[in-house]
Amino acid sequence: MTDATELVGLHRPAFDRIPDPIPNPMTEQRDALARAAVERLFASRPDLTERYGEAGRRKCVEDTGHHILYLAEAAATDSPELFRGYVAWAKILFTGLNLPETDLADGLAALAEVVGERVGGALGQRALACIAAALRDLPSMPAAVPSFLRPEAPFGELAQAYLNALLAGDRRRASALVLDRVAAGAPVRDVYLHVFQPVLREVGRLWQTGAITVGHEHFATAATQAIMAQLYPHVFQSPRRGRSMVATCVSGELHEVGIRMVADFFEMAGWDSHYLGANTPARSILQAVEERDARLLAVSATITAHVGTVTELIGAVRAGLRGRTLRILVGGYPFNLAPDLWRKVGADGCAASAAEAVALAESWEAGPGAADGPGGGPRSGFGNGLPAGAPAFLLRTR
Ligand code: B12
């Protein structure tokens, strides 16, 4: 959706405070890089033309374009974990499509050659290091993702029953399962973190492995959003504490349920939450921060290719603050992959879940030093029980 202020030219001063996007030479020459890499790949692997034909070759250019978007962000922020996470995800996708791993590996090797020749400076060097690290780890990356649902997890049985209802296309049953449990005393926070979150991640896993369609995913997401809305009488019950926050996705980002949960957790903690949803332009976010007199801005990105947009947004917001104090919290999939990324995008902190986001903001409110964990930095505990660097799609709630 286009920002209305963009169309009618309102709020001119805010326009002037939006700096130009940070250029990334890799995304700028994405098409040319992708075509050159695929040409090289198909020249060295004549069997690919036989197997996939011209249509397969075009698809391969498209896929390589995606590789480049993720690679560009990993290189720009010097975060090889981001590209590693993407390649781990791509491996599972390839496996589900019965495409050999060597096709992915050879494609990445061809991309490395082209990047080595055409992308200069530190960015090119970092991109090559990202590809090399991902290629080294590719054979040991898992070919399948285990389920995000475990019967022994808190609310594990409810989560499974909720998923089953959604997959059966039964919104009414899904809603009743949740509302009945909340009526029986289950805290809404637990339902969010132990039912909605793992179930949506499981839906993503099932989509990724080809077990369900985009239609099933859309249904499950829309039904969950509707059921979250049914829980709002509980969400809006907490006494107000005079603290305002704005919660939003960056421009281009469509995954809005995670940041909506973050906003709702702040609401339940007594903050006035202003949830803007998906794909919000920088100027509207800046305006919302001013209008709502926010002391906290929570920014979400799920797609790694949007990390540069987060950096631009934070730069724009800080440039437009005119002396106002504002803490900026970031989160979402790429920030769960690369624990240091929040610093690199210019945020004040990062959290892996809605509960941890509130805990971190409250520790900031409590005064200096209160947010410092064992590492001394304003990052909330990760709490997922996985080794550092594990792909984010393996994240699950305890
Ligand atoms: C629903 C969904 C969609 C919907 C979103 C609709 C909507 N209204 O939100 C639609 C269909 C639009 C979509 C599109 C795409 N999706 Co999608 N999607 C999902 C899915 C299944 C669920 C997302 C979700 O709601 N998760 C549950 C929430 C609660 O979890 P969460 O987002 O992680 O949020 C928690 C924390 O991360 C944290 N957090 C989140 N934000 C913030 C912010 C702050 C400040 C803080 C502190 C914390 C924080 O707190 C939250 C609550 O605890 C995921 C699967 C998954 N693993 O999440 C895939 C997934 C994210 N999608 C994926 C992909 C690939 C895409 C597409 C690129 C597909 C395509 N080819 O078009 C597009 C990209 C669209 C875009 N431009 O953004 C991949 C991403 C893989 C990767 N390597 O990046 C996933 C992981 C699916 C998969 N397993 O392959 N998707």
Q: What is the pLDDT of residues 108-158, one digit of tens each?
A: 999 999 999 999 899 999 999 999 999 999 999 999 999 999 999 999 999
Mean pLDDT score across all residues of the chain: 88
Q: Is the CB of 353 under 6 A from ligand 1?
A: yes
| Three-state SS at 272 | strand
Report which protein residue has its CA nearest ligand 1's atom 36. 353
Q: Is the pLDDT of residue 59 over 90?
A: yes
Q: Is the CB of 394 under 6 A from ligand 1?
A: no
Cβ-based neighbour number of residue 47 at 10 Å:
9
Q: Which of 65-74, 112-121, 314-323, 337-346 is predicted least confidently?
A: 314-323
Residue that is written with structure tokens 């981001």 in the block: 82
Domains for the chain: give ranges and CATH numbers. 25-140 (1.10.490.20), 156-230 (1.10.1240.10), 239-394 (3.40.50.280)
Q: Is the CB of 188 under 6 A from ligand 1?
A: no
Q: Is the CB of 251 under 6 A from ligand 1?
A: no
**Dist. CA 292–CA 144, nearest whole Å:** 45
Q: What is the pLDDT of residues 353-392, one digit of tens each?
A: 999 999 999 999 998 755 444 333 556 533 332 233 333 3
Q: What is the pLDDT of residue 23?
A: 79
Residue that is written with structure tokens 């769960």 in the block: 336
Q: Which of 287, 290, 384, 368 is nearest to 333 (CA)?
A: 384
Decide which of 10 and 189 is more confident. 189
**Dist. CA 168–CA 178, nearest whole Å:** 16
Q: Are 341 and 334 in contact (CB under 8 A)?
A: yes
Q: What is the pLDDT of residue 7?
A: 37
Please list, in sequence order, all residues whose beta carbon lies within 8 angstroms of the beta carbon of residue 49, skipping any fewer than 6 positions away: 42, 57
Mean pLDDT of 76-92: 96
Q: What is the largest CA-CA distance in the chain?
A: 68
Question: Which tokens go with 288?
Answer: 């919302």
Q: Are 310 and 299 in contact (CB under 8 A)?
A: yes
Distance 261 CA to ligand 1 centre (A): 13
Give the H/E segment covering residue 299.
strand 296-300
Q: What is the pLDDT of residues 204-246, one digit of tens each?
A: 999 999 899 999 999 999 999 999 999 999 999 999 999 999 9
Distance 246 CA to ligand 1 centre (A): 20
Mean pLDDT of 3-30: 58
Q: How many residues does the chain have?
A: 398
Q: Are 385 and 363 in contact (CB under 8 A)?
A: no
**Dist. CA 355–CA 193, nearest whole Å:** 8
Backbone torsions φ then ψ of 127, nearest 5 degrees: -65, -40
Please list, in sequence order, all residues whose beta carbon lies within 8 angstroms of the beta carbon of residue 161, skipping any fewer than 6 positions away: 177
pLDDT band per the 50, 70, 90 thresholds, residue 316: very high
Q: Is the pLDDT of residue 17 over 80?
A: no
Distance 9 CA to ligand 1 centre (A): 32
Ligand 1 mutation target, pool 81, 190, 228, 255, most atoms within 8 A of CB: 255
Please list, in sequence order, all residues whose beta carbon lies within 8 angstroms of the beta carbon of residue 127, skipping any fewer than 6 positions away: 26, 71, 72, 74, 75, 115, 119
Cβ-based neighbour number of residue 301 at 10 Å:
29
pLDDT band per the 50, 70, 90 thresholds, residue 254: very high
Question: Which tokens go with 352?
Answer: 């892996």
Distance 265 CA to ligand 1 centre (A): 18
Question: What share of the chain has pLDDT > 70, as a percent?
Answer: 87
Q: Is the pLDDT of residue 8 over 60?
A: no
Q: Are 298 and 245 in contact (CB under 8 A)?
A: yes
Ligand 1 mutation target, pool 87, 145, 302, 313, most atoms within 8 A of CB: 302
Q: What is the pLDDT of residues 275-286, one digit of tens each?
A: 999 999 999 999
Q: What is the pLDDT of residue 370?
A: 55
Distance 302 CA to ligand 1 centre (A): 5
Report which protein residue has its CA nearest ligand 1's atom 7. 255
